[in-house]
Amino acid sequence: MLRFLDIVLSVTALVVLIPFFTLIGIWIKLDSKGGVFYIQRRVGQYGRDFNLFKFRSMRLGSDQMGLLTVGERDPRITNSGYFIRKYKIDELPQLLNVLIGDMSFVGPRPEVRKYVELYDERQREVLSVKPGITDEASIAFRNENDLLTKSSNSEQTYILEIMPAKLELNMRFIMRPSIWNYFRIIFKTIF
């Protein structure tokens, strides 16, 4: 049932958003060199890697300088990138991931392999479900950049504080899957 909802919602959203996607794509191309999309390997269900789609918000090669972005004005972020990240527009191409079946609308956010390798056995349970575009952790940590900015060692703060807290929220979600919870998180994300 959830897969059916994912397909219907992603197709509907993609059709409705095509004009908006086109405008965002033009803005990204005019703003900086490189493609419109950024594709990053993430870890999905059962620990399988997949390509996650995003609108490109950073300058080319920026991911070679670190995986975490710190602060609103990380110098690697483009002008258009600042706007699309602030309003989470950069995440919208993940509707394609939902349509393909790599992701669901709701589920634990997919992580890069580097951080998944740090999960303990219990935390690895989040890999038993499809990752999602949104989840309780995304809502609770929507100010993650602010938290990382205040840290003297942002990567350690992420690994030791933020990531475990997010995983705990995700564990609660996967323990009580339901259509009600699916829609509750979608509406909570929107509002």
User: Following DSSP, what letter does each residue of 4-29 receive, concatenated?
Assistant: HHHHHHHHHHHHHHHHHHHHHHHHHH
Q: What is the pLDDT of residue 71?
A: 56
Q: Half-sphere exposure of 143 toward its Cβ, with a 13 Å CA cutoff? A: 4
pLDDT at 69 over 70: no
Q: Look up the domain containing 86 and give its range.
A: 2-190
| Angle made by CA atoms 184, 191, 77, in degrees to the nearest 5 | 115
Q: Are 132 and 70 in contact (CB under 8 A)?
A: no
Going by pLDDT thresholds of 50, 70 and 90, the confidence category of residue 188 is: very high
Query: Residue 133's closest CA among 111, 113, 112, 106?
Result: 106
**Mean pLDDT calculated for residue range 69-88:** 83
Mean pLDDT of the chain: 92
Indicate the SS3 state at residue 70: coil
More confident residue, 48 or 145: 48
Residues 166, 141 contacting (CB under 8 angstroms): yes
**Cβ–Cβ under 8 Å, residues 36 and 25:** yes
Task: Please report which residue ranges of 41-178 form alpha helices under DSSP H.
Answer: 79-86, 94-100, 113-116, 136-140, 144-149, 154-157, 163-175
Domain count, the chain: 1
User: Cα separations (Å) of 106 from 9, 65, 178?
Assistant: 12, 30, 11
* pLDDT, tens digit, 9 for 90 and up, residues 32-57: 999 999 999 999 999 999 999 999 99
Q: Quick one: pLDDT band at residue 81, thresholds 50, 70, 90?
A: very high
pLDDT band at 176 (very low <50, low <70, confident <90, very high): confident
- pLDDT tens, position by position, 165-174: 999 999 998 9
User: For residue 4, what pLDDT band results from cuts at 50, 70 and 90?
Assistant: very high
High-pLDDT (> 70) share of the chain, %: 95
70: left (phi over 0), alpha (psi -120 to 50) or beta: beta
144: confidence class by pLDDT, cuts 50, 70, 90 = confident
More confident call, 113 vs 62: 113
